[in-house]
Amino acid sequence: MKLELKGITKRFGTFTANDSIDLVVEPGKVHALLGENGAGKSTLMNVLFGLYVADEGEVLLDGKPADFDGPGDAMAAGIGMVHQHFMLVPPFTVAENVMLGHEQVKGAAKLLDLEAARAKVKEISDRFKFDVDPDAVIEDLPVGAQQRVEIIKALSRDAKILILDEPTAVLTPQETDELLSIVKDLRDAGTAVVLITHKLREVQAVADTITVIRRGKVVGTAEPTASQAELASLMVGRDVSMTV
């Protein structure tokens, strides 16, 4: 599914967090959204996920205008989001969490039976080698595995576009490498992955296309072959080649 954001503007009072942002995300690609803290990345994704209503602009899915009245609509349309802070219930099992995650989805494709949820977790975990046991209790799992549960939740809802908001911020270096490998596998399976980050190494490692935002505006796009100095200069808005 192809996603287009056109002229998205989001204001908080008099502050403009997103200023007429254009973004195109293609299926089977990793699209990095690169920007410093406070650049407006999460705000843009919250608009896309139906959590915020844009003041201006539109979201198109396969060319058709999408009007999301909350995350339930976004999920039903095939958009999945893994937030910086996981939305899991710690004392519940993986399968229970996946099942709960379906209550918000509007329309079809609901998974409201625990046996069906266990089977779905196993199927997705096996397909992408996530090594997640459907009956494990969330609070007993390392952070990297909890994050894979969030990804399973999204995939179990048939997400075609997966937004990962600063996914490596909470991970160890080894978990980070594992996640980047998962991102490539998801991409190869046809998912459009939006990777939000301010870490240049990650962008270079997995991105197919890069959009850089600064102070709420798109300030440029870059190829994955761009150097860290080029990316950093775009991100902060001045030449930082001497310091990288």
Place of tokens 């937004």: 163
The interface with ligand ADP within residues 210-229 (CB under 6 A) comprises none
**Closest CA relative to residue 211, chosen from 1, 14, 3:** 3
Among 3, 25, 30, 35, the residue binding ligand ADP under the rule CB under 6 A is 35
- Is residue 163 near ligand ADP by the rule CB under 6 A? no
CA 213 vs CA 30, 108, 237: distances in Å: 16, 36, 10
CB atoms within 10 A of CB 226: 20
What distance in Å separates the CA atoms of residue 130 and residue 115, rounded to the nearest whole number?
19
Q: Which is nearer to Mg ion, 47 or 117 (CB)?
A: 47
Q: Are the beta carbons of 24 and 192 closer than 8 angstroms?
A: no
Among 39, 59, 159, 162, the residue binding ligand ADP under the rule CB under 6 A is 39
Q: Which is nearer to ligand ADP, 42 or 233 (CB)?
A: 42
Q: Which is nearer to ligand ADP, 123 or 166 (CB)?
A: 166
Residue 6 pairs in a beta bridge with 58
Q: Give the type of residue at 96.
A: E
Work out the burial of residue 51: count CB atoms within 10 Å of its CB; fewer than 13 is exposed, 13-18 middle, 19 or more buried: middle
38 interface partner picked from ligand ADP, Mg ion, none, CB below 5 to 8 A per type? ligand ADP
- Is residue 118 near ligand ADP by the rule CB under 6 A? no
Q: Which is nearer to ligand ADP, 99 or 235 (CB)?
A: 235
The interface with ligand ADP within residues 10-29 (CB under 6 A) comprises 12, 17
- Site map for Mg ion, 41-80, x if CB under 5 A? -x--------------------------------------
Place of tokens 């399968």: 95
- Is residue 43 near ligand ADP by the rule CB under 6 A? yes
- Is residue 42 near ligand ADP by the rule CB under 6 A? yes
Q: Which is nearer to ligand ADP, 42 or 97 (CB)?
A: 42
Region of 31-39, 116-124, 132-140, 184-192 interacting with ligand ADP (CB under 6 A): 31-39
Q: Are the beta carbons of 234 and 220 closer than 8 angstroms?
A: yes
* Distance of closest approach, residue 41 Cβ to Mg ion, in angstroms: 5
Q: Which is nearer to ligand ADP, 146 or 197 (CB)?
A: 197
Sign for the CA dihedral angle at 73, 78, 84, 90 comes to: positive
CA 130 vs CA 31, 86, 147, 177: distances in Å: 22, 17, 10, 13
Residue 165 pairs in a beta bridge with 196
Residues at the contact surface with ligand ADP, assessed by CB under 6 A:
12, 17, 35, 37-43
